[in-house]
Amino acid sequence: MYESKKILALIPARGGSKRLKRKNVLPLLGKPLIAWSIQHALGSKYIDKVVVSTEDEEIAEVAKKFGAEVPFMRPKELAKDDTPTMDVVLHAINFFERKGELFDYLVLLQPTSPVREVETLDEAIRMLINHPTAQALVSVSPVEKKCSDFLVSVDEKGFLKQAPAKDGLFYLNGNLYIATIDSLKAKKSFFHDKTLAFVLPKWQAVDIDDIYDFLFAEAILRAKEEGII
């Protein structure tokens, strides 16, 4: 709890994944991938409850082993390749509201972002709750200048065209999303005109989608352990 606000951390982790099979339970430096996000949430000074939403029995058991709650099994229809994450979020909110357990904020932590710092998570929570008008916060990283200098497009005939370079561009890195419960129910999105940007450096922007991302995350985490980062 922070400033008398009750905070729920939700970690969505389905069993199916196309590019990297069973990625949520793959061992990353000796721990299943999902365990990293669970431990980040449990390490927060402010998060009141850590919940994993999954339809997969193995993931559920791993989640419980590492200290998360699995108070429900996600319906199969909410565990498809094209299921919007917001549907999973609203399902969890509705589950707790039906039980009479109410929260003020929800923190969404994707298990595919294991390179996350607890101190950064808590800083983001403080930033949003202390802001007078913001209703949500998402993490972003800057597009590097060397990339923006070489932006190109492809015309209708298949030829490359130089695209105008722009400074100050950012991309959503998937590391963390936070919002008020009321705004999630009303706007059904983390991204709107009341969303704050929480800027993270490149090394924290790892989002695992395939084996190359996985190996990169492993290298970053090793570098952290060795004090290189």
Determine the average pLDDT of the residues in 171-197.
96
Confidence band (pLDDT; 50, 70, 90) for 150?
A: low
Helix ranges restricted to H, 13-80: 33-43, 57-65
| pLDDT confidence of residue 165 | 65
Predicted confidence at residue 142, as pLDDT, reads 87
Residue 185: CA atoms inside 13 Å, Cβ hemisphere, count? Answer: 11
Lowest mean pLDDT segment, chosen from 5-19, 116-130, 164-178: 164-178
Whole-angstrom Cα distance, residue 115 to residue 76?
29
For residue 127, pLDDT beyond 80: yes
Does the domain at 7-225 match CATH 3.90.550.10? Answer given as yes
CA–CA gap between residue 174 and residue 207 (Å, rounded):
6
**Own/partner pairs for 35-40, CB < 8 Å, 24+ apart?**
35/62, 35/66, 36/111, 36/114, 36/116, 37/11, 37/109, 37/110, 37/111, 37/113, 37/114, 37/116, 38/11, 38/63, 38/66, 38/67, 38/68, 39/66, 39/67, 40/109, 40/116, 40/117, 40/118, 40/121
* Of the candidate ranges 36-40, 183-187, 197-201, the one whose mean pLDDT is the lowest: 197-201
In 3-state terms, what secondary structure has residue 7?
strand
Provide the pLDDT for residue 2: 95
Asked if pLDDT for residue 54 goes beyond 90, the answer is: yes
- What does the DSSP 8-state code read for residue 2? B
Instruction: Give the bridge partners for 105, in sequence order.
Output: 7, 180
